[in-house]
Chains A and B, each alone.
Chain A
Amino acid sequence: MHLIRTHRTFSKLKSILLRRHSQAALIDQNEYTETPEYPPILDMSIQGRKLRERETMYEKIKQLNTVEEKQIALNMPRYYGWPCVMLNEDKIPYNAMPLVQCYTRTHFIPTEKLPDSYADTASTADEITKEVKAFIEDALCIESEGVEHNFSLSLEKPEPSQKEDALAKCIVRQINRIISNNLTDKVPHIISTQVDYDPRHEAFWFVGGVDIPDSVLNWRKKQSWYKDRLEENLDRPVQYIGTPFLTLRNKLPLKPIIPYSEAENADFKVPKFSYSPNNVGYFTNFRHGTNMPGYWPGDYDEFGMLSYHGRGHILDRKESFGPEDNLEALHCQAMKASFGWLLAQANYQGFTTYNDLTYPLATQTVITNGQLWSFYAYQLNTIVMHNEQMDENPKHNVCFGTKPMKLYDSIENGKVQGLNEEVLKTLVQFYLNSPEEREHDLKPYLGKEEQVVADIEDDRKRCWLEDRYKHLVANRPKHFLPPETYLWEKIFKIQFNLRFHEKKRRPFELDINPYKRRLNEHLPPYIPKLLRKYPRSKKKFENTYYPDVLNHK
């Protein structure tokens, strides 16, 4: 006991005796220069300070070494997850195109045929189309009449759309099989291409420039520091979720469709959609943001080539929406799916919604029900659109898309009537579009040695990060219920102050927003005394390895 006390007194004494602060002024002798060097003038307004705070966080995320850490870093500010606007692949409300275009920052170009970059492969595609035509006709007949499928249908979706999607899935698998088998000897990239069935595609990003809801406005009116920035926009977290029928991916990225310099072309500007997404029919859900292009970080083939999607959801739309809106719905689906997949791929290259791409990525998307085929070519130029970047970022993404075209007219007596070779040729051209080596660094924001968590040498850190990342992206329910304001509290405590003599204990009485809890605000696992280090260790809790990106409270 005596020992400890003396130790404590000494430590206090030390700090008094050393007097560190008084010595600092003596060091710099040459404080005069020829021209005066002023410190940078900082904007000290509240907006300016907030912006600097945010920017330091973006810079910290950029400096992180591994993909997984960056993904955890995106979720660091929220323990209970972000209230994400859910863009599901197959839920497209009426007149959703302006929202989807704005949220994916995509300029849509309707075309009759593929963009010019596909012109080189046209003659080869013609030959191959002739070769595979007969086999594809056979496959179409067999799938629609010759095989007895037993599709297992779920009760969650209407039956016709599920049946259409199931049949389309079979047809797509057959067509992919026939074309890839035929092309293996002719083009080198097909053999190493990985084919995924029903992969999990998810993407997460922030969209700025959306109007604030009334509840937020009312709250701001009460706060004195919000006096001159009542209308300041909020970021909306957006989450895309989709499941294509089939995707092809490769080790190398596809060539850009248009030159990268075109990304800043003013013609591609997308009108801003500042209304709340609820007005259109997109709703929010609390979840952690996830970016997933169908494989975990560390897979060899990281760049998408082609993805096939179903269009069964068109059958579930109301008849009153009309054919024009159905066509727009297809375009929306293509834009969402292409942007979502490419964004997830970009995240695996070390870019995030805060750190923009340094090179363009491209993908090809096909939406089909077996008979009707629409083709889309998408180029991702930018993924930054949070806060003020919504207005300031000059770059836009570009999507070329065709109308749905009939592959065949009908199937009668086991014969395909009127096979449209043009459609087939377009599809073959998608397969012939070969990925290429890029001359620049593909992963400028990832570490040199450590690019994924599996590269980390420290065993504990690696295992911890791996576990935490998988747990986070699984979005499984929390062990404890999320915080809630009960209805009686809302009536008797918030709306009418009727229980004023009660002790104020609840978060809303203490002016705490429980949803602002940070991801690392929890007790780490306890180390039982028996397992602590010999002879005596005061360390009660295990280490955590959360990326340190947040500004200190």
Chain B
Amino acid sequence: MKLSQVLNRQHIGFMFKKHWIIQGKRVPIDTGVEDYLKAKGIPVEDALEFVKEKPEVHEKVNIVGQYEEPLPLDENHPNYKAKPCYTLRNTNVLLEGISQAQVLTKTIIAEDKLPPKIEELAQVEAPKAIHENVKKAILSANVFDCEQKKLPKIKDPQRPAYNFPRILGITDRRRNQILTNRLLQLIEKSSDTEVTQTKYVVNDVETHTTFDKDEELIQFQDVCNILVTSNKPVKHDTEKDIPFVEIPDLYPVKHTVTLPMEHFYSETSKYPIKPSVSMNHPHTTWLHFNKTEVSNIYETPVTSNQILGRSLTHAFTVASAYAKQLHGEDVKDLPEPVYINCIQTDGQNYHFGVLELNTLDVDGNEGTKNVWYCKNDMKLYGSSRYFSGMPVLENYNPKVYGYINAFYNC
């Protein structure tokens, strides 16, 4: 006889196992009803006879949910086109950065040069109280805002598998939103009421532009994080004798490289403000560079050259969408150039640019060209954060405020 161990305790696992064994071998109990019914002369039928038939298949019920389901992306979609369109969104960047942007938009660049009026206005000293308020704005965007969301994972290239504790804090999107809006509010408050009354400010509006280049369809889809519009188009006096950076030859890279092809697009451009609005002329557009949202389609980090390219494509998108709204979809050389100011920032670095849009005919490298005046990489502050438990703002640069102010007031 085999002796097994005596278990003097109850074990929930064993209890369940035993229970399964017992319950798994259940035998139907003969209740004696069948015999009884037969004796009474009542016919007894096998229950399995009734379940032989397959259940009826019902039609699928169309359930009305809380939201409309998006249409499936197939050939029946209203926006489906057979011809693919190369698409650049605001979350993507161009591989070759500014040079590729130059080719795509047929633009020559005046490096480190802004129109003389802006340079003149930028030299005007702002009162001390304003700079104090700018410092407050920087601190409240980087330090004092209460947002506590997950920040990107910290990676140490020396030991890539090491998991650092995840830090909660102010996301780059929120930081940029706070800082740029505060700066604009300050500028508006310190400007004359007559100036602010001729301007209008909208946040987070979409602009699309679609155009042909060398028989290929290209579209830019961009979001203006802040769009300042005015009641008359912005004009700049420009110098002629500037050493322009000509359109480069990208060979062996093609100008559509890293632009994903799409079949669902609309051929018309979209400028967010309707022509019936009196203050619909774009004046300054602010573009945020949110590090967590913008990336290359391959995993390489975004380079500073690519960030500069973003400014140019963004300004081109807004200006051309506006020009097409003004002159119609098929306009080529514009009767009058369209100017637009563009400020791109990641909170700390500011890239200023002015686009002179002369033509929407971007085929080839010859003929009328667009002009991009820019002044890049101006730092508003050295660093601003909690440093060992204390709020810190280092190396504040008052010049940047001067330029932003000049852009608003020109």
Contacts and interface: CB of A to CB of B under 8 A. Distances in A.
B391 interface: yes
Interface in B126-147: 129, 133, 136-137, 139-140, 143-147
Contacts of A195: 181-182, 185
A120 interface: no
B274 A159 contact: no
Contacts, number: 127
A454 B390 contact: yes
Given A142-B200, A454-B390, A462-B389, A150 B147 contact: no
Contact of B189 (A180, A454, A466, A499): A180
Given A454-B391, A501-B9, A180 B203 contact: no
A300 interface: yes
B185 A142 contact: no
Nearest to B274: A146
B144 A148 contact: no
A185 interface: yes
A23 B308 CA distance: 83
Contacts of A465: 389
Interface string A151-182: 00001001100000000001001100100111
A200 interface: yes
6 contacts: A149-B272, A195-B182, A197-B177, A295-B140, A301-B136, A456-B389
Interface in A183-226: 184-185, 190-192, 194-197, 199-200
A180 B129 CA distance: 17
B340 to A, nearest CB: 17
B140 A466 contact: no
Contacts of A81: none
B123 to A, nearest CB: 23
Interface string B344-377: 0000000000000000000000000000000000
B120 to A, nearest CB: 24
A159 B66 contact: yes
B272 A463 contact: no
Name, among B67, B189, B190, B272, the residue most crowded by chain A CB atoms within 10 Å (CB to CB): B189
B389 A148 contact: no
B268 interface: no
Given A299-B144, A463-B388, A148 B193 contact: no
Nearest to A139: B200
A296 B146 contact: yes
Interface in A125-155: 135, 138-139, 141-142, 145-150, 155
B272 A199 contact: no
Contacts of A67: none
Interface string B138-174: 0110011111100000000000000000001000000
Contact of A295 (B144, B270, B272, B274): B144
B68 to A, nearest CB: 9
Interface of B: 8-10, 12, 66-67, 129, 133, 136-137, 139-140, 143-148, 168, 177-178, 181-182, 185, 188-190, 193, 196-197, 200-206, 270, 272-274, 276-280, 386, 388-391
A294 B146 contact: yes
B270 A462 contact: no
A501 to B, nearest CB: 7
A150 B10 CA distance: 63
A281 interface: no
A145 B274 contact: yes
Contacts of A139: 200
Nearest to A195: B185
Contact of A502 (B10, B185, B200, B273): B10
Contact of A466 (B66, B147, B272, B386): B386
A54 interface: no
A181 to B, nearest CB: 4
Contacts of A295: 140, 144-146
A230 to B, nearest CB: 37
Interface string A372-383: 000000000000
Interface of A: 135, 138-139, 141-142, 145-150, 155, 158-159, 170, 173-174, 177, 180-182, 184-185, 190-192, 194-197, 199-200, 292, 294-296, 298-301, 414, 453-454, 456, 459, 462-463, 465-467, 470, 473-474, 476, 488, 499, 501-502
Contacts of A196: 140, 178
A147 B273 contact: yes
Contacts of B276: 146, 414
A290 to B, nearest CB: 9
Contacts of A158: 66
Nearest to A177: B201
B129 A191 contact: yes
A181 B93 CA distance: 37
B146 A199 contact: yes
A159 B67 contact: yes
A160 to B, nearest CB: 11
B272 A147 contact: yes
A191 B178 contact: no
A232 to B, nearest CB: 37
In the A-B complex, the 4 residue pairs with the closest CB atoms: A466-B389, A462-B389, A146-B277, A200-B146
A229 B168 CA distance: 45
B12 A488 contact: yes
A422 B189 CA distance: 25
Nearest to A295: B144
A499 B10 contact: yes
A150 B205 contact: yes
Nearest to B137: A194
Contacts of B140: 194, 196, 295, 299
Nearest to A199: B146
A157 to B, nearest CB: 10
Contacts of B10: 499, 501-502
Contact of B144 (A197, A296, A456): A296
Given A181-B193, A197-B178, A148 B168 contact: no
A351 B300 CA distance: 51
Nearest to A455: B390
